[in-house]
A and B are shown apart, each in its own frame.
Chain A
């Protein structure tokens, strides 16, 4: 091969290397006043939360937003080379799984232990907190007021009642919100009864599961279905929408927090932890403490329609208040139980044909 060819071959390679060096040389690990976050929170309103932290502490935040499963897989592959300091996930079962996969490290923080209730955080065997819940959403039932009564639907079990045949709208069973609810049901009812219950849900469906929770709410509002299961987060957002049609739609709905007279309404937890190989340990703890502070908790409640979890933070959200009339009884079961049931629940869903 002659010289001309060689030099032309080398040129693009050299250019590519130079380009890569320019775009890739991210000084992610070098700086001190920096915090690297992997977040499964997908709420545009959170932006101000991060901004306020940087303003208060001078710590710059680098962030990757992805989904829970993606973050967990990524952390596993990165191993000890992972640049992540803080992990934020929006599903309790995933928090549990990441913890049992050893992706978190226990931290010492009196502030977190004092402000977050014990059932919403995990404690390491050797002491210290492995992860903390930061906000919750309840999984509730909405129904068409012109067709049904509140007493028809005051428990999750009643959703399988044959009188709702052709009435139920619910999103895919494999979505984390439903997997979590069904995992909790398995804990309360046992596996056989839960599978029979799921079979009842499938028999009652108005249509095959599709879309998100908002679609299920709109399904009831438009008369496509009589009953739907939804997360409070989406319902509250519709109630507070500046779109008059959305607000009007929610007025047709009856809202029930199921199982108030038994074990309480199922809540799902969004939370955070310090990554096992975090390099900015101190900043990471500071950030979690910040998220448990009244200011951040208020942001979750008012800005993002979630329930705050820190003790002493009062709820200041008109939609959430209107739904519950103040407060409600939430289910108290160990999150690990819900997490452990996930695979089993999916296999039940596959057996009963719950898409």
Chain B
């Protein structure tokens, strides 16, 4: 193995350590853990697993339909409102899924304001519609919060090429459905797959929405094993089962993607020549409605409901206002540090994958992408276990202190969790850089990191920025690791929203939640601007 691979392997190892610790839990086989697992397997696990499937299927359908339809519409067609919808469709990214869940539940539940006032006004009785706190409700909330991943990646895949190729197909006499199926879809497929995969990994790891809705998924089982049954070994073993599901799917996706690479050199002139197809009248409004729906459900409505909840509770708000600025600052700081770090680590990894590296490196890099499918709590366990062991072995080194008394621990957990986001984005960007460029550069003597820095980075600048902003937003919304690993006096907006919601003060929780959305809008709007310029 060339020496050059060693730094890469080291980076991968640092990122993958908690994941490896989770997998290694199988070696720490104990009779207690196997008893815990056996008891769960006989009672609840099959149902948890089935619920996870029941949740993932509609989420996949939801994010694919919302994300790819809207991406296709805004790139290939011109209709009323397209210009602002193009960036506004990203806004739901600023909404943490658990906040959307609070907002909808509070408003729609049996005892919520809507049903109560309808019953009072019309004398109706009983439940007026199915409970939002159910599997379908969770699927809806997760879909409207996660479709932007598919939208973002699909739009990026289509925007450079789809209008031109669609136009060519039209001139050759292909009908609209045929153009979509035979031209756009193959172009978009790798991006749709990558986006959906991110959404599903997030869904499998979710405990914020499902926990609040009382929907018991496999991740719930992981939580219970650890927090209630007090068995972290069993919890880690269950978590590694989640990985066992995700790994083959990732491999399939890699295999499918490697056959579907469409690299083109962008030339401004050729893009300007071809215009998106103008649609107007009923069809124009239909397009507007299709794009507006996810925006309405994932952003406008929950925002309005939150504002309403806040208004209703305005007299009881006991927030510590002088601390508010610090919460915002802490959120921004953690997001900023992590975004830079994650992208700095993911860039060489993504570059390595492009250059047909040795088998070991490929696998190591893929391992780093798994953190996204692991519930945050499990990553925390994966960090605390080895650090606890080191602490016991060498008490003088103070490993335990460095992990939690500084931001090292929490940032490390973020890196583990969100490397996948950056990696997917960068890899997706790499697929659009033709391999011939690398060869030409090599002939001119530019290799290794120089190649990444001087050739790839400028071409990838948009992907890099997108990756930075995605990680930034994700970190600001992250909960379990922030809650458990942050140092003293470092409350963030997400933590405050969670603490208030845990104390069942939803009206007050609306304040940090709204602030989180507003602050989260900054990176999302920057992201949108990046898109528009592209």
Contacts and interface: CB of A to CB of B under 8 A. Distances in A.
Give the contact-size bracket for chain A: 35 or more
B488 A63 contact: yes
Given A23-B333, A62-B489, A81-B400, A347 B39 contact: yes
Interface stretch (B360-368, B386-394, B427-435): B386-394
B395 A79 contact: yes
A83 B391 CA distance: 13
B388 A355 contact: no
Contact of B318 (A36, A45, A211, A212): A45
Interface string A221-255: 11110000000001000000111000000000000
Interface in B471-494: 483-491
Give the contact-size bracket for chain B: 35 or more
Contacts of A43: 503
A79 B404 CA distance: 11
Interface string B110-133: 110001100000000101000101
Given A70-B484, A81-B401, A211-B105, A347 B43 contact: yes
A1 B230 CA distance: 51
Contact of A97 (B230, B399, B448): B230
Interface string B448-476: 11100100000000000000000000000
Given A44-B500, A172-B214, A243-B316, A78 B403 contact: yes
A260 interface: no
Interface stretch (B69-77, B194-202, B271-279, B377-385): B377-385
A174 B312 contact: no
B229 interface: yes
Interface in A192-216: 207-215
B131 A207 contact: yes
B227 interface: yes
B395 A81 contact: yes
Contact of A224 (B110, B216, B486, B505): B110
A147 interface: no
Contacts of B254: none
B503 A42 contact: yes
A74 B43 contact: no
A311 interface: no
Contacts of A350: 39-40, 43-44
A80 B508 CA distance: 38
Contacts of A73: 232, 380-381, 384, 484
A347 B213 CA distance: 22
A209 B214 contact: yes
Interface string A24-44: 101011000000100000111
Contacts of B116: 222
A65 B216 CA distance: 26
B165 to A, nearest CB: 39
Nearest to B32: A343
B252 interface: no
Given A79-B395, A80-B391, A64 B486 contact: yes
Contact of B111 (A26, A66, A79, A215): A215
B484 A44 contact: no
A24 B408 contact: yes
A112 B40 CA distance: 42
A8 interface: yes
A26 B401 contact: no
Given A97-B230, A350-B39, A210 B489 contact: no
Interface centre among A62, A79, A207, A355, by most chain B C-beta atoms within 10 angstroms, is A79
B405 A12 contact: no
Given A69-B227, A219-B111, A242 B449 contact: no
B111 A222 contact: yes
B283 interface: no
B282 interface: no
A234 to B, nearest CB: 6
A66 B480 CA distance: 9
A210 B43 contact: no
Interface in B56-74: none
Interface string B405-429: 1111000000000000000000000
Contacts of B448: 1
Given A26-B488, A224-B127, A79 B133 contact: no
A70 B483 contact: yes
A346 interface: yes
A62 B406 CA distance: 13
Contacts of A83: 401, 404-405, 488
Contacts of B318: 44-45
B313 interface: yes
Contacts of B495: 65
B320 interface: yes
B335 to A, nearest CB: 14
Interface centre among A210, A241, A242, by most chain B C-beta atoms within 10 angstroms, is A210
A355 B214 CA distance: 8
B406 A215 contact: no
Contacts of A66: 483-484
Nearest to B39: A347
A24 B490 CA distance: 11
A19 B214 CA distance: 42
Interface centre among A5, A45, A74, A351, by most chain B C-beta atoms within 10 angstroms, is A74
B111 A351 contact: no
B445 to A, nearest CB: 11
A72 B44 CA distance: 26
Across the A-B interface, give the 4 residue pairs with the lowest CB-CB distance, nearest first: A210-B214, A78-B400, A222-B111, A81-B400
Given A70-B483, A73-B380, 12 more contacts: A1-B448, A12-B344, A24-B406, A24-B407, A42-B500, A44-B505, A63-B489, A209-B214, A211-B105, A234-B504, A343-B229, A347-B229
26 contacts: A1-B448, A1-B449, A23-B337, A24-B406, A26-B405, A26-B488, A62-B489, A63-B489, A64-B488, A67-B483, A77-B387, A78-B388, A78-B403, A80-B391, A209-B214, A211-B105, A214-B504, A215-B109, A218-B111, A222-B115, A241-B316, A242-B316, A342-B230, A343-B229, A347-B229, A350-B40
